[in-house]
Amino acid sequence: MGSRFLALSRWVLIVALRVGLSSETCNAKDNSTKCTSSCGNIHNISYPFQLKHDPKHCGNVMYTLSCENNITLVVDLPPSGKYYVQAINYHNQTIRLVDPGLQNNNCSSMHQNFPPFLRDPYSAYNMSGYLLSTPVFYIKCSNPVNSSLYVDTAPCLHINASLVQQKTYSYVKVGVMEVGDLNEGCSAEWLALALLSYPNGHNTSYESVHSALMYGFDLRVYWPDEIAPICQGQWSYNLKCFPHTIPGT
């Protein structure tokens, strides 16, 4: 009788502990979805995002943002760098970013960072594998180029040349770079992303391209339940886990 009572008591205690832990976990998850913050013009920052100094139960640490001087929302995406957050679309699961090196009404300002194409939990690609934003290639040429594919960056950008260097010319190519798009004597020097469309043969200026760059580019945000697998002892690429070594090697 005594041993049966003791066994029953242990069973009740184990069940109670499991129920308590489960309830605590659920409450923590519920609390994390109820937190809201704001920074500058961006309000209702909510789960899974959290600000750097929010309570620990708010949001998810993978989606931590910083609020600089109470007016600028910043996301850090190493190794690319920091970006200013312009908008968060929870319905489309996108976040719009702009490079901190760009300045309004200053078309000579340039990017500080190379675009972050893949950085968990963010991706420059949609679920079908297509870029969410339009690539903008910065091109340097040894000779002037007359092509509907190229947009002259003058007078915004100038490439200084010393007395011993050959004069060069600067352009941007908006859109995917196809084979044959890069003229002889030209090289792609930089790449940016922007939310714009530029049909071939359509006249535009670098000022308008710069304005589009100032508007920003989109990254797709993967929610925590989409990246549930934890890559223990493995490396991840585009939210997928891969072994460090290949079997048989």
Judgement on whether residues 225 and 126 belong to the same structural domain of the protein? yes
**Residues with Cβ < 8 Å from 187, sequence gap 6 or more?**
139, 140, 141
Domain-embedded: residue 210: no
Specify the number of domains making up the chain. 3
**What pLDDT is attached to residue 76?**
96
pTM exceeds cut of 0.85 = no
In this structure, of 84-98, 112-126, 192-206, the range with the lowest mean pLDDT score is 192-206
Q: Report residue 5's pLDDT band, with 50, 70 and 90 as the boundaries.
A: very low
CA distance 148 to 235: 43
Judgement on whether residues 102 and 67 belong to the same structural domain of the protein? yes
For residues 33 and 210, the model is more confident at 210
Q: For residue 2, give its domain range.
A: 1-34
Judgement on whether residues 64 and 112 belong to the same structural domain of the protein? yes
For residues 181 and 228, the model is more confident at 181
Mean predicted confidence (pLDDT) in 110-132: 93
Q: Percentage of residues in the chain with pLDDT exceeding 70? A: 72
Element (H, E) at 12: helix 2-34
Judgement on whether residues 65 and 118 belong to the same structural domain of the protein? yes
Judgement on whether residues 185 and 139 belong to the same structural domain of the protein? yes
Query: Smallest Cα–Cα separation from 239: which of 80, 66, 58, 62?
Result: 62
For residues 123 and 199, the model is more confident at 123
Q: Report residue 167's pLDDT band, with 50, 70 and 90 as the boundaries.
A: confident
Judgement on whether residues 110 and 3 belong to the same structural domain of the protein? no
**What pLDDT is attached to residue 204?**
84
Judgement on whether residues 242 and 129 belong to the same structural domain of the protein? yes
Please provide the average confidence, as pLDDT, over all residues in the chain: 81
Domain-embedded: residue 105: yes
Q: Report residue 196's pLDDT band, with 50, 70 and 90 as the boundaries.
A: confident
Judgement on whether residues 156 and 125 belong to the same structural domain of the protein? no
CA geometry: angle 177, 93, 209, nearest 5 deg: 35
**Is the pLDDT reported for residue 249 higher than 60?**
no
Mean predicted confidence (pLDDT) in 177-193: 93
**What pLDDT is attached to residue 110?**
94
